[in-house]
C-alpha cells in the first residue's frame, strides 16, 4: 500500500501545511480565541466516555482541514481497514496487528490467514476467568494448603508496564485481601524487595513473557523458583501450585516446570506493548475481578469502534494524532507532556513512553528509506498537581515548545473535602495560563517594578489538549489506552513507519548476552570490544574480585 503513496514531504497536503505554517506561526492563541468566541465549544469532540477539548492548539479551521487532508493522502482509511481486517501490516515481522481482536465481542469475526481468531480470544478469557475466580475465592490452594494472598507478576517491557499501570489505575476496584507486586528489572534488588515481606506458602508467581526467553524475566523467574522451593522445603511439586505462565511458547513454559494447563496463551499478532488486555492482564483480572476486566475490554472496544467508523473530523485518536504531527513537524515541538490530574494514573505516562516511543521511534519508512522529517516525539509526564511544583516552570517560561495532554475526571473515586475542586481548578488554570499567558501590560498593571516585568511575563501560546471524563472506571481506562494506541497508529500511518516492530531493542540484548560470560569467567577473557568497553569490563572484573 505504502509504495503507491507519495513520500510524506511530497504529498500536496504536507506542502500546503508547510506554507500555511508560515502564516499561522505569528498568531497567538489569544487572537484565535478573540476572533471566534465559540472556539472553546467548537473545537471539541467526544467518544467512548471521553470529552476532548483541543481548542488550545495553535490551529485554525484551515490547519485542521489540511491535516485531515494529510490523513487521507497518507492512506489512513485504508490502513485502519487493513488492521481491522487482520492484514499483515507489521511487514518487517510478517504479522497481523490485532490487539483490537482482544476486545472484540463474542460472535465477531476477525480472520487471520482465513481463521476466525475471536473464539480463541474468548476461550483464553474464559480460562482466565475460571482461574481468577479460584484464586480470588480461596479455592486455589498453595502447596501447603494455604490460600493465595500475594500475587507477583514477573515480566518486563510490554509484559510489565501495562500490568503495573492497570493495577495502579484500578487499585480502587481491587481486592484488598490480595497483595500485588511487579518484578521486572534484572537488578536483584527488584526481586528481593518485592518478596521481602511475603510468605512463599501464600505467594503465586505469574511469569509473563510472550517469548519465554527474555533474559531478565527468565533470571527473575529462576530466582523466584529458588526462593519458593527454599521456603517450602525443596519439593519441586510446589512449582505447579505457585507458578503460572502467560506466554505464546508452551515448550519453554513446560521446560521451566510450569504445567501447561496453567499457561494462558496469546498470539504473535499481539505486540508486547499492545498486550495489557490479553492474558498479560492476568494480574489485572486477579486484582479487579473478571467483571471489571470485561468492563475494561468493553471500554477498549468502544474506542476501537469509534476509531474505525467516525469521520476524521470527529475522530478523537485521529484528531489528537494530527495535532501531534502539527506540533512536532510544523511547530518544532520535540516532546509531549502527558499530565493526568488523577493520582491513580501515576504510571500512565511511563506506560505511554513505551507505547509511543517504541512504536514510532523509527528512522526508515515502510519501504526502508531514511525519513527526512521527525517521527515520534518524546512522551513523558507526571501526575498533577505534583509536576506544577517542579518542571512546569520550563513549560510556562522555558525556550522549548511543549504541548501538553491534560487528563482529568469530574468525580474523584475517593472524595475528600474540597480536594477534588482544588485539583480540577489547577488543571483548568494550567491549560489557561499556558495558552493565554500574561502580557507585560498585565504584569505592569499589577504594580510590578519595570526591571522585574520581563521575569514575570508569560508569553502563553503553549498548546494543550484537555481530556475530561466522568470518573476513572475500568471502561474509561480501556477507552483511554485505546485512544493512545490509535493515536500511535495514526501517527505511524502519516510518518509511513512500522509502529509494530522494535528492532532497536535487539542490538543491546544480543550484546549483553555476549558480555555476560566475559564478566563471569574465572580466567581473563579475550576481549574484542572497543577500547572503552574492554576497559570497563576489565575494571569491573578487578573491582568485583577485590570486594
Q: How far is the CB of 362 from ligand G6Q (least distance, A)?
A: 13
Measured from the CB atom, the residue of 223 and 385 that comes closer to ligand G6Q is: 223
- Binding-residue total with ligand G6Q (CB under 6 A): 14
Nearer to ligand G6Q, 229 or 488 (CB): 488
| 389 assigned to active site | yes
The per-type count for the chain, helices as H runs and strands as E runs, is 23, 13
Q: Are 438 and 28 in contact (CB under 8 A)?
A: no
The 140-179 site mask, x for binding ligand G6Q (CB under 6 A), equals: ----------------xxxx--------------------
| Contact residue for ligand G6Q among 273, 301, 347, 486 (CB under 6 A) | 273
* DSSP three-state, residue 145: coil
Strand-pairing partners, residue 152, are: 181, 205
- Is 196 an active-site residue? no
- Minimum Å gap between C-beta 486 and ligand G6Q is 16
- Provide the 10 A C-beta neighbour count for residue 313: 13
Please identify which residue in the block is written with the cell numbers 504479522. Answer: 95
- What is the three-class DSSP state of 414? coil
Only segment of 102-110, 209-217, 444-452, 484-492 that touches ligand G6Q (CB under 6 A)? 209-217
Using CB under 6 A, which of 174, 179, 211, 335 touches ligand G6Q?
A: 211
Residue 277 in the binding site for ligand G6Q (CB under 6 A):
no
Helix (H) or strand (E) holding 322: helix 316-325
Residue 331 CB-half CA count within 13 A: 26
* Nearest of 170, 191, 184, 175 to residue 132 by alpha carbon: 175
Nearest residue (CB) to ligand G6Q, 342 versus 501: 501
Minimum distance from residue 194 beta carbon to ligand G6Q (Å): 17
Could you say which of 181, 210, 241, 242 contacts ligand G6Q (CB under 6 A)? 210
Q: Grid coordinates representing 171?
A: 487499585
**Least Cβ distance, residue 211 to ligand G6Q (angstroms):** 3
Minimum Å distance from CB 541 to ligand G6Q? 28
User: Near ligand G6Q by CB under 6 A, which window of 266-274, 342-350, 373-381, 406-414?
Assistant: 266-274
Nearer to ligand G6Q, 69 or 252 (CB): 252
Q: Do 242 and 223 form a contact (C-beta atoms < 8 A)? A: no
Task: Report how far residue 48's alpha carbon sits from residue 478's, in angstroms, rounded to the nearest whole number.
Answer: 9
What whole-number distance in Å separates Cα of residue 409 and Cα of residue 446?
A: 34
Cα of first residue to Cα of last residue in the chain, in angstroms, is: 60
What are 255's strand-pairing partners? none
Write out the binding residues for ligand G6Q, residues 18-57 only, by CB under 6 A.
Answer: none
Query: CB neighbours of 284 closer than 8 A, spacing ≥ 6?
Result: 163, 166, 167, 170, 276, 293, 296
Taken in order 314, 351, 173, 136, is the CA torsion positive or negative? positive
Here's the x/- map for ligand G6Q, 338-377, by CB under 6 A: it reads as --------------------x-------------------
Residue closer to ligand G6Q by CB (options 370, 507) is 507
Q: Which residue is nearest to ligand G6Q (CB)?
A: 157
Pick the catalytic residue from 168, 202, 216, 358: 358
- Residue among 23, 314, 411, 509 flagged as catalytic: 509
Known catalytic membership, residue 143: no
Q: Which of 22, 38, 196, 389 is catalytic?
A: 389
Give the Cα separation of 108 and 534 in Å (integer).
56
Contacts of 204 (CB under 8 A, 6+ apart): 135, 140, 142, 148, 150, 151, 152, 242, 243, 244
163, 293 contact by CB (below 8 A): no
The one segment of 36-44, 104-112, 128-136, 205-213 that binds ligand G6Q by CB under 6 A: 205-213
Taking CB under 6 A as the rule, does residue 209 contact ligand G6Q? yes
Q: Smallest distance from the beta carbon of 402 to ligand G6Q, in angstroms?
A: 26
**Which is nearer to ligand G6Q, 156 or 435 (by Cβ)?**
156
Cβ-based nearer residue to ligand G6Q, 124 or 427: 124
Q: Which three cell numbers stand for residue 389?
A: 511544583
Q: 362 near 488, Cβ under 8 Å? A: no
State which of residues 203, 214, 376, 385 lies at the interface with ligand G6Q (CB under 6 A). 214
Phi, psi of 459 (to 5 degrees): -60, -35
Active-site residues, by number, are 358, 389, 509
Interacting residues toward ligand G6Q by CB under 6 A: 156-159, 209-211, 214, 217, 271-273, 358, 502
Amino acid at each position: 500500500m505504502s509504495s503507491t503513496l507519495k513520500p510524506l514531504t511530497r504529498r500536496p497536503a504536507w506542502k500546503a501545511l508547510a506554507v500555511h505554517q508560515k502564516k499561522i506561526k505569528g498568531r497567538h492563541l489569544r487572537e484565535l480565541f478573540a476572533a471566534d468566541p465559540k472556539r472553546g465549544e467548537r473545537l471539541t469532540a467526544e467518544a467512548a466516555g471521553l470529552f476532548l477539548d483541543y481548542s488550545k492548539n495553535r490551529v485554525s479551521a484551515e490547519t485542521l482541514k489540511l491535516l485531515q487532508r494529510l490523513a487521507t493522502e497518507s492512506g489512513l482509511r485504508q490502513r485502519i481497514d487493513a488492521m481491522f481486517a487482520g492484514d499483515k501490516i507489521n511487514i518487517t515481522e510478517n504479522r497481523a496487528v490485532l490487539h483490537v481482536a482482544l476486545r472484540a465481542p463474542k460472535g465477531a469475526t476477525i480472520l487471520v490467514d482465513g481463521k476466525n481468531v475471536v473464539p480463541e480470544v474468548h476461550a483464553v478469557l474464559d480460562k482466565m476467568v475460571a482461574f481468577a475466580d479460584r484464586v480470588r475465592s480461596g479455592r486455589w490452594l498453595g502447596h501447603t494448603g494455604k490460600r493465595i494472598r500475594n500475587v507477583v507478576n514477573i515480566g518486563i517491557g510490554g509484559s510489565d508496564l501495562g500490568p503495573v499501570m492497570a493495577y495502579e489505575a484500578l487499585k480502587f476496584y481491587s481486592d484488598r485481601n490480595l497483595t500485588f507486586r511487579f518484578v521486572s528489572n534484572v537488578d536483584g534488588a527488584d526481586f528481593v524487595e518485592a518478596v521481602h515481606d511475603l510468605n512463599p506458602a501464600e505467594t503465586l508467581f505469574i511469569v509473563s513473557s510472550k517469548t519465554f526467553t527474555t533474559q531478565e524475566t527468565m533470571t527473575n523467574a529462576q530466582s523466584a523458583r529458588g526462593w519458593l522451593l527454599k521456603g517450602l522445603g525443596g519439593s519441586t511439586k510446589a512449582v505447579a501450585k505457585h507458578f503460572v505462565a502467560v506466554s505464546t511458547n508452551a515448550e519453554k513454559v513446560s521446560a521451566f516446570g510450569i504445567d501447561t494447563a496453567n499457561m494462558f496463551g496469546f498470539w504473535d499478532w499481539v505486540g508486547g506493548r499492545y498486550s495489557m488486555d490479553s492474558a498479560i492482564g492476568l494480574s489485572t483480572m486477579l486484582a479487579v475481578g473478571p467483571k471489571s476486566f470485561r468492563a475494561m475490554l468493553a471500554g477498549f472496544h468502544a474506542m476501537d469502534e469509534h476509531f474505525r467508523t467516525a469521520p476524521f473530523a470527529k475522530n478523537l485518536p485521529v484528531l489528537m494524532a494530527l495535532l501531534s504531527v502539527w506540533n512536532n513537524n510544523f511547530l518544532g515541538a520535540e516532546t509531549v507532556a502527558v499530565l493526568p490530574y488523577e493520582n491513580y494514573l501515576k504510571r500512565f505516562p511511563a506506560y505511554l513512553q513505551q507505547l509511543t516511543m517504541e512504536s514510532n521511534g523509527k528512522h526508515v519508512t515502510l519501504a526502508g528509506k531514511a525519513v527526512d522529517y521527525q517521527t515520534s516525539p518524546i512522551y513523558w509526564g507526571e501526575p498533577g498537581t505534583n509536576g506544577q511544583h517542579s518542571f512546569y516552570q520550563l513549560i510556562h517560561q522555558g525556550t522549548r515548545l511543549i504541548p501538553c495532554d491534560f487528563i482529568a475526571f469530574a468525580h474523584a473515586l475517593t472524595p475528600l473535602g474540597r480536594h477534588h475542586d482544588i485539583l480540577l481548578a489547577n488543571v483548568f488554570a494550567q491549560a489557561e495560563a499556558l495558552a493565554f499567558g500574561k502580557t507585560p501590560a498585565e504584569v505592569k498593571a499589577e504594580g510590578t517594578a519595570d526591571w522585574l516585568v520581563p521575569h514575570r511575563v508569560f508569553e502563553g501560546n503553549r498548546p494543550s489538549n484537555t481530556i475530561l471524563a466522568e470518573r476513572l472506571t475500568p471502561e474509561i481506562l480501556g477507552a483511554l489506552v485505546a485512544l493512545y494506541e490509535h493515536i500511535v497508529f495514526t501517527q505511524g500511518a502519516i510518518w509511513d513507519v512500522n509502529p509494530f516492530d522494535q528492532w532497536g531493542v535487539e542490538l543491546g540484548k544480543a550484546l549483553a548476552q555476549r558480555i555476560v560470560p566475559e564478566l563471569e569467567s574465572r580466567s581473563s577473557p579475550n576481549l574484542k570490544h572497543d577500547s572503552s568497553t574492554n576497559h570497563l569490563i576489565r575494571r569491573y572484573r578487578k573491582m568485583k574480585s577485590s570486594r
